[in-house]
């Protein structure tokens, strides 16, 4: 299994490190405009491989992504304090177009995972520029947002995050929302679970969602970037693909001619199918609003 990563910054190297822990790659190639940095990161990662599955980690150019099974994109301008993800649209669109042409030339049979923000807008651009089947072009979407929300609910309700079943869907950004009508803990509606909670003090679910939505802003303000959690997200998504696990995630996938975070079954060939979930009237309105925001920003670069 050969995996190539565009971008040797915090996110790219965190993804590479997490993939090593998953023991699913035989070869990892890191491509960056700063080749010297890519070489340093690759060497540092390779020195850790005696503690993981045997894996050849190296730096390279776009030519070195040839025969990649999966290409992961983290390259692009990083979100700065005070910026929204959508503010990065025009700056990163040119980079995506260049990377798309390189993938078409050197890794035409690969599956693409995009992380670069705004993830929904740029994943759509990659799909258009490569001409690949939509199921082979995936964005990380709201997988991290969903994980963040589940982890906060789990801490608040004193249960395991794996027992929290709730999705955040829509744009990976300010218009995302929780599908409250389908949110559960252990099969019990989240609102009902909270009604008989015996904890003396609990944070409201709405506040937990706001903390989730604003988590990236808070982390960026405090440390400059988010990288560890998205590294874990991406490596686990890669594992699902390699092992054909058919797990349901909320990646950025093609719906109504737009890419947006929504539940989908992921396996060896990428998106196997979309999981249609019932939204109440308010949720459907929020979803349409979110799709329209993504469409607006797509129109700026297409």
Measure the CA–CA gap between 167 and 142, rounded to whole angstroms. Answer: 8
Residue 258 to residues 126, 202, 263, 271, 302: CA-CA distances in angstroms? 12, 38, 14, 15, 12
Q: Is 140 annotated as a binding residue?
A: yes
Q: Is 61 annotated as a binding residue?
A: no
Q: Is 54 annotated as a binding residue?
A: no
Measure the CA–CA gap between 273 and 275, rounded to whole angstroms. Answer: 6
**Spatial contact of 96 and 129, defined as CB atoms under 8 Å apart:** yes
SS3 (DSSP) at 139: strand
Peptide linkage before 118 cis (omega within 30 of 0): yes
Q: Is 114 annotated as a binding residue?
A: no
Residue 57 to residues 2, 29, 181: CA-CA distances in angstroms? 10, 6, 45
Helix (H) or strand (E) holding 252: strand 252-255
152's tokens: 């906060």
Q: Is 120 annotated as a binding residue?
A: yes
Whether 47 sits among the annotated catalytic residues: the reply is no
Q: Is 165 annotated as a binding residue?
A: yes
Q: At what angle do helices 143-157 and 228-242 cross, to 10 degrees?
A: 110
Q: Is 174 annotated as a binding residue?
A: no
Q: Is 119 annotated as a binding residue?
A: yes
Q: Is 257 annotated as a binding residue?
A: no
Q: Is 146 annotated as a binding residue?
A: yes
Q: Closest Cα partner for 207 from 270, 153, 272, 288?
A: 153
Q: Is 155 annotated as a binding residue?
A: no
Q: Is 85 annotated as a binding residue?
A: yes
- Return the beta strands (E) in 32-118 as ranges: 56-60, 70-73, 111-114
Q: Is 123 annotated as a binding residue?
A: no
158's tokens: 């004193």
Q: Of these residues, 112, 143, 164, 172, which one is catalytic?
A: 172
Q: Is 74 annotated as a binding residue?
A: no
Q: Closest Cα partner for 76 from 126, 1, 148?
A: 126
Q: Is 11 annotated as a binding residue?
A: yes
Q: Is 233 annotated as a binding residue?
A: no
Beta bridge partners of 27: 2, 56
Which residues carry a binding-site annotation for NAD(+)?
A: 11, 32, 37, 76-77, 115-117, 140
Which residues carry a binding-site annotation for beta-D-fructose 1,6-bisphosphate?
A: 150, 165
Which residues carry a binding-site annotation?
A: 11, 32, 37, 76-77, 79, 85, 115-120, 140, 145-148, 150, 165, 226
For the annotated catalytic residues, the residue numbers are 172
Which residues carry a binding-site annotation for substrate?
A: 79, 85, 117-120, 145-148, 226
């Amino acid at each position: 299994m050969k995996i190539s990563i565009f971008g040797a910054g915090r996110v790219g190297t965190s993804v590479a490190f997490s993939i090593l822990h998953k023991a699913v790659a035989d070869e990892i190639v890191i491509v960056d405009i700063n080749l010297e940095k890519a070489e340093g990161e690759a060497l540092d990662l390779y020195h850790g491989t005696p503690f993981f599955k045997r894996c050849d980690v190296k730096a390279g150019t776009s030519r070195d992504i040839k025969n990649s099974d999966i290409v992961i994109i983290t390259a692009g301008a990083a979100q700065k304090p005070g910026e929204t993800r959508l503010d990065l649209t025009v700056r990163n669109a040119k980079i995506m177009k260049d990377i798309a042409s390189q993938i078409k030339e050197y890794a035409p049979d690969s599956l693409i995972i995009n992380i670069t923000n705004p993830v929904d807008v740029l994943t759509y651009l990659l799909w258009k520029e490569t001409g690949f089947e939509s199921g082979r072009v995936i964005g990380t979407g709201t997988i991290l947002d969903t994980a963040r929300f589940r982890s906060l609910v789990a801490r608040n309700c004193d249960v395991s995050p794996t027992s929290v079943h709730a999705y955040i869907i829509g744009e990976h950004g300010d218009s995302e929302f929780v599908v409250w009508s389908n949110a559960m803990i252990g099969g019990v509606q989240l609102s009902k679970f909270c009604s008989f909670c015996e904890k003396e003090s609990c944070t409201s679910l709405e506040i937990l969602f706001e903390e989730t939505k604003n988590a990236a802003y808070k982390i960026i303000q405090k440390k400059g970037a988010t990288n560890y959690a998205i590294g874990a997200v991406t490596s686990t998504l890669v594992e699902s693909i390699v092992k054909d696990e058919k797990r349901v995630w909320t990646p950025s996938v093609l719906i109504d001619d737009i890419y947006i975070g929504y539940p989908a079954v992921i396996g060896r060939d990428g998106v196997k199918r979309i999981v249609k979930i019932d939204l109440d009237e308010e949720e459907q309105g929020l979803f349409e609003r979110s799709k329209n925001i993504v469409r607006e920003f797509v129109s700026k670069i297409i």
